[in-house]
């Protein structure tokens, strides 16, 4: 299987790219939704990003509409919503399938290579995958885990 930095992803502009630009950073990948009970976690995700981006940390948001259609808008509307309502400045990618027949290569990689819950499908919006600087998945957090609870894990990886 490829390493995470070689997997093709789509930016919110429609451009196809890889995660290579984030190589050497600690990465938190999150499947987001703008009409979910967990949507306020965007505030905490943005705070983590602001607090640690200068140290080599990045949050990557991948909007998903697979859980009760909680992100039905266009990617332009989703990006604007996140920016206006939650001050999001971390990268938001194109809508992504995180499970099922159309599951993206990125989420196939994440699900199949995570230590905890390995091989188990993404449970809901705001499931989080923490990746170290070498591209290895070091932890997977269920949606209910608030972003603030990840601080210790993130700072340990940034050292």
Angle at 100 between CA 91 and CA 125, to 5 degrees: 45
How far lies 113's CA from each of 82, 156, 157, in Å? Answer: 29, 21, 18
Provide the annotated active-site residues: 36
β partners of residue 11: 93
How far lies 59's CA from each of 83, 100, 101, 119, in Å? Answer: 14, 24, 26, 23
Residue 15's nearest CA partner among 108, 82, 103, 91 is 91
Rounded to whole angstroms, the Cα distance separating 57 from 69 reads 30
The total number of residues written for the chain in this structure: 159
């Amino acid at each position: 299987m490829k390493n995470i930095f070689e997997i093709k992803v789509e930016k919110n502009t429609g451009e196809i790219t890889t995660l290579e630009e984030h190589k050497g950073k600690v990465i938190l990948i999150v499947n987001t939704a703008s009409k979910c009970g967990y949507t306020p976690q965007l505030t905490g995700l943005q705070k983590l990003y602001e607090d640690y981006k200068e140290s080599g940390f990045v949050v990557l948001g991948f909007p998903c509409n697979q859980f009760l259609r909680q992100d039905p808008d266009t990617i332009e509307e989703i990006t604007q919503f996140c920016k206006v309502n939650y001050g999001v400045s971390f990268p938001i990618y194109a809508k992504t399938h995180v499970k099922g027949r159309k599951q993206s290569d990125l989420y196939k990689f994440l699900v199949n290579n995570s230590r905890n819950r390995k091989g188990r499908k993404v449970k809901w919006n705001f499931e989080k995958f923490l990746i170290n600087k070498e591209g290895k998945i070091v932890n997977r957090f269920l949606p209910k885990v608030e972003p603030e609870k990840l601080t210790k894990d993130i700072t340990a990886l940034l050292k």
